[in-house]
């Protein structure tokens, strides 16, 4: 009976995490190039159960009373890097990466202590700062192969190979990071990704589309269906806890008092 309480309670914890992920997906359905997440489950390892304050029992000196299985546990939160729909914006400073799910714009991040690191994004909604430097909407520097991209004005073009052309000359090229294994990437907020290890990069084989933005790859209808299913599972586990608690109450306070 107690084991059933533990199993149902743990399942509710898993359902709560699933609901958090689904809610975040829905909240970002209109976020440029957002990549949806899903909770991956695994079998919860068996837990050894012991009697408390009963290890001196001659018949069971170890106090072990067997193992307990909690059902499913959270293995990881997996991110789908499938390309979202491409939308034409007509804005010269908007860019999208096409036909390469594992490629990203490279961004320079400076933290509060002045440390400089690299991050990655598929969100190509850029702008020019007061110094003519290409930056993200949060003011982070967009990197080219030779460092920050500096332009005279927003009158320029970018070809499919990421070359930046202004006044008829190539003035730079986007630094496109393409990863062999995208599972090394984790979300860090601000629609940015960071790599947990030094990535093994490969050549960029996609295309860059100017005046276009990639949309979120979240399917709102599917996420709503998933939300309903998770909610029903949560309510079922909640009901099981109520039933088991009621049965336990009767066993302790009614059956135990007979005689």
Instruction: Break the chain into its structural domains and give their ranges.
Output: 2-80+219-257, 86-214
Residue of higher predicted confidence among 114 and 78: 78
Residue 13 vs residue 217, higher pLDDT: 217
Q: What is the pLDDT of residue 187?
A: 95
Look at residue 247 in the predicted model and tell me its pLDDT: 75
Given this model, what pLDDT does residue 214 score? 98
The single-letter DSSP state of residue 256 is G
Q: Strand (E) positions, 51-89?
A: 64-68, 72-79, 86-88
pTM of the model: 0.81
The Cα 87–Cα 122 span in angstroms is: 13
pLDDT at 257 over 80: no
The answer on pLDDT for 1 being more than 70 is no
Q: Residue 231's CB: how many other CB atoms inside 10 A?
A: 14
In this structure, the number of other CB atoms found within 10 A of the CB of residue 228 comes to 11
pLDDT tens by residue, 19-74:
999 999 999 999 999 999 999 987 766 655 666 655 555 555 555 666 666 667 78
Residue of 171 and 111 predicted with greater confidence: 171
- Nearest in space to 51 (alpha carbons), one of 34, 35, 63, 66: 63
């Amino acid at each position: 009976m107690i084991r059933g309480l533990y199993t149902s309670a743990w399942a509710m914890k898993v359902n709560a995490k699933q609901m958090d992920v689904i809610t975040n997906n829905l909240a970002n359905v209109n976020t440029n190039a957002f990549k949806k997440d899903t909770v991956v489950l695994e079998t919860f390892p068996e837990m050894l159960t012991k009697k408390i304050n009963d290890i001196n029992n001659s018949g069971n000196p170890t106090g072990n009373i067997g193992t307990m299985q909690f059902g499913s546990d959270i293995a990881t939160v997996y991110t789908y890097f499938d390309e979202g729909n491409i939308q034409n914006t007509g804005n010269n400073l908007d860019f999208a990466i096409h036909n390469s799910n594992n490629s990203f714009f490279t961004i320079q991040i400076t933290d509060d202590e002045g440390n400089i690191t690299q991050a990655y994004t598929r969100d190509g909604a850029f702008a020019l700062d007061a110094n003519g430097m290409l930056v993200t909407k949060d003011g982070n520097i967009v990197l080219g192969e030779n460092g920050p991209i500096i332009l005279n004005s927003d009158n320029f073009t970018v070809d499919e190979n990421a070359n930046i052309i202004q006044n008829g000359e190539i003035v730079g090229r986007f630094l496109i990071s393409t990863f062999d294994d995208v599972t090394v990437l984790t979300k860090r907020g601000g629609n940015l990704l960071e790599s947990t290890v030094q990535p093994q990069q490969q050549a960029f084989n996609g295309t860059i589309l100017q005046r276009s933005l990639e949309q979120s790859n979240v399917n709102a209808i599917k996420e709503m269906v998933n939300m309903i299913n998770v909610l029903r599972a949560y309510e079922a586990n909640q009901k099981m806890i109520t039933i088991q608690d009621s049965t336990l109450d009767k066993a302790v306070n009614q059956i135990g008092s007979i005689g």
